[in-house]
Amino acid sequence: MESLDSDLLRTFVAVADTGSVTDGAARIYRSQSATSLQIKRLEAILGQSVFERHGRGVILNDTGRRLLPAAKEVTERLDAVLRDISQGAVTGKLRLGVPDDHGRAKLAGIIAAFTRHHPKVELDVTCALSTGFPDALDKGLLDLAVYEVERPSQHEVVLFEDPTCWLSSAHRDFSADGCLPVALFDHACWWRDAAIESLEARGKPYRVIYSSQSVSGVLAAVEAGIAIGLLGRSSLHSGLSVVGKKLGFGKTPASKLVMRASETKKAGPQDAMQEAIRTAFKV
């Protein structure tokens, strides 16, 4: 008779808690395909399915609801035992800066997993507009930070690259506008500089009618059809259109999500968090 593997149970719990195979995979640092295979393996052992499809996600069926309490108990007890007997427990304090928009959900999942695996680390997380993070690292106010740049330095590890593009609502045509309405970031950052440089290179009239500190703010203005905005291609969805070439814009740069540590080394928690982030982004 086959037995239930704790790794399969851990995958099951992650998908059940998030309601999505994709989000569950991110929580346990696995690919979506590998996570799906593990769920299929679990269901093959049980001889029954544990989830039902629900919209874009999944929900527990009767079998899944019966299994979940036991699966959580097993994985939580194993984690507790590992923490108790581990001779190399990571301890200390880590001050981490994460951006309030780009990659927020994924980074939140990484932090939650880190806390479960390293409960003796005191985490101080700053979630804010990330333009100030490099200065905070230089001044010793943060130990580690994730933020966006156009050109990474040798001390910045690139986690993710996102090409920028001019986007508009798919339901609004700006080609006839004599003076192009634009939504920009309202803080001194490379996103705003890149947008203005692109607008000036286009050589046609424009007016800034909307400013926001965040990606979600600029995106909201674009989705509403009141302006175009320079955003990452990762923001593109069925309600938006790429309009750069149509409106006469040239090539725009890519955004790089980077990670950088302060010069003040905190070997235990700093190294552990860097490894967790690297693993999640597979760099």
The pLDDT tens digits for 150-188 are: 899 989 999 989 999 999 999 999 999 899 999 998 877
CA 135 from centre of chain:
22
Query: Phi and psi dihedrals of 76, rounded to 5?
Result: -65, -40
Domain 91-283 fold = D-Maltodextrin-Binding Protein; domain 2 (3.40.190)
The CATH 1.10.10.10 domain(s) of the chain lie at: 6-85
Question: Can you list the residues of the chain whose pLDDT is less than 70?
Answer: 1, 83-88, 101-105, 265-267, 283
Q: Which tokens is 190 given?
A: 């490379």
CATH code of the domain occupying 6-85? 1.10.10.10
pTM exceeds cut of 0.85: no
Q: Which tokens is 248 given?
A: 């006469």
The CATH 3.40.190.290 domain(s) of the chain lie at: 91-283
Gap between the Cα atoms of 103 and 73, Å rounded? 30
> What is the pLDDT, as a whole number, of residue 142?
94
> What is the pLDDT, as a whole number, of residue 102?
56
> What is the pLDDT, as a whole number, of residue 73?
92
Gap between the Cα atoms of 61 and 67, Å rounded? 10
